[in-house]
Amino acid sequence: MTDGGLPPGLWLIGLGPGDLGLMTADAIEHARACDYRFLEGYTATLPDDQEGRLEGLVGQWNRAMRPMVEDPSEILSLATEKSVALMVVGDPMQATTHVDLESHCAEQGIDFSVIPGLSAISLAVSLSGLQSYRFGRQVTLPFAYGDYLPTSPLEMIDSNYTNNLHTLVLLDLDPTGMGVETPKPMQPKQAVEILKAMFEKLVEHEGSVRESMTTAIANWDAILLSDLGTADQRIVSGDLDDIAKLSDGRIHCLILPAEFAGLEREAYERRRYQA
């Protein structure tokens, strides 16, 4: 055993969606017991006030941005001799880079463990008032990089829509795409502008677009979910133009519904945006 009470190895520890009050007792115990602690700072971030609380809750920590996580030689070198916690906002293993860490550990014979955390993704579905079984493939909406704007996210949204499935849309956190600087999460207005730009690009490229997409992009109902799992949590519904008017909040995601079923329409209306 190490001085911290845990054997050498790497622990991926979920912090929950933002409020450290939602961090599990198991996660706190393991983070405290590790010899080294890193906060992964590019796939998601803590609010400033919660980040300020973290050291008092688990002990001293350092930040790990994308280069350090995707080339984890320093972290893995420590984990061969000591217990190392990589603390992740939300639930670990949601990002490909975290799955890759497991592969590195397996190749090098390093013990690898995961302590789950409450995910904003599961919160988004449950708090939307929509039925979880009616969701299709999850989509990430990226920033445009220079002149490059992929249209595949909108095509996946449309594929869900034509199959009468709702879509959870995660908004990009980093306009640089590098994962080095402090994230600057996409805001609702930017998200709506990007969706419309994707639509226009598809029309220009194909000459015409499926009728379902044309109808949807013009009148799409949407649910905006902001700062889930924090004291500032907010959930509002409205069409895309309504959503674009909202500027409060730090981190957002969208739900783009298909046809409502059962009590879903009533749940949507209860969350209606009021100017």
What are 151-174's pLDDT values in tens digits?
999 999 989 998 999 999 999 887
Give me the residue label for tokens 């609380």. 53
Q: What is the pLDDT of residue 1?
A: 40
| pLDDT tens for each residue of 171-185 | 988 776 655 567 788
Range of the domain at 180: 121-270
State phi, psi for 205 to the nearest 5 degrees.
-75, -40
Q: What is the pLDDT of residue 3?
A: 46
Q: Based on the fold, state whether residues 25 and 78 are members of the same structural domain.
A: yes
Q: Is residue 173 one of the residues assigned to a domain?
A: yes
Q: Based on the fold, state whether residues 168 and 127 are members of the same structural domain.
A: yes
State phi, psi for 66 to the nearest 5 degrees.
-55, -45
Domain containing residue 113: CATH number: 3.40.1010.10
Closest CA to 41 of 178, 234, 224, 188: 178
Q: Based on the fold, state whether residues 69 and 176 are members of the same structural domain.
A: no
DSSP state of 187: P
Q: Is residue 36 one of the residues assigned to a domain?
A: yes
Q: Based on the fold, state whether residues 113 and 221 are members of the same structural domain.
A: no
Q: Average pLDDT for residues 38-51, to the nearest whole number?
A: 89
Closest CA to 143 of 173, 169, 179: 173
Helix, strand, coil content of the chain in percent (nearest 5): 40, 20, 40
Q: Based on the fold, state whether residues 249 and 208 are members of the same structural domain.
A: yes
Q: What is the pLDDT of residue 13?
A: 97
Domain boundary among 82, 99, 118: 118
Which tokens sit at 56? 């008092």
Q: Based on the fold, state whether residues 149 and 74 are members of the same structural domain.
A: no
Neighbours of 85 (CB within 10 A): 29
Q: What is the pLDDT of residue 216?
A: 56
Domain boundary among 118, 136, 159: 118
Q: Are 142 and 160 in contact (CB under 8 A)?
A: no
Q: Average pLDDT for residues 48-69, to the nearest whole number?
A: 93
Q: What is the pLDDT of residue 212?
A: 60
Distance CA 106, CA 33 (A): 22
> What's the whole-model pTM score?
0.87
Kindly report the average pLDDT of the chain as a whole number.
89
Q: What is the pLDDT of residue 2?
A: 44
Q: Based on the fold, state whether residues 188 and 264 are members of the same structural domain.
A: yes
Domain containing residue 155: CATH number: 3.30.950.10
Q: Is residue 33 one of the residues assigned to a domain?
A: yes
| pLDDT tens for each residue of 206-215 | 665 666 665 5
Per DSSP, helices labelled H in the chain are 25-33, 48-58, 66-70, 73-79, 96-108, 120-127, 152-162, 188-206, 211-219, 240-244, 264-270
Give residue 77's pLDDT band: very low, low, confident or very high (50, 70, 90): very high
**Highest-confidence range of 29-43, 136-150, 190-204, by mean pLDDT?**
29-43
Q: Is 165 exposed, middle or buried (0-12, 13-18, 19+ CB in 10 A)?
A: middle
Q: Based on the fold, state whether residues 246 and 144 are members of the same structural domain.
A: yes
113-to-69, 79, 97 alpha-carbon distances in Å: 16, 12, 15
Q: Based on the fold, state whether residues 55 and 157 are members of the same structural domain.
A: no
Domain count across the chain = 2
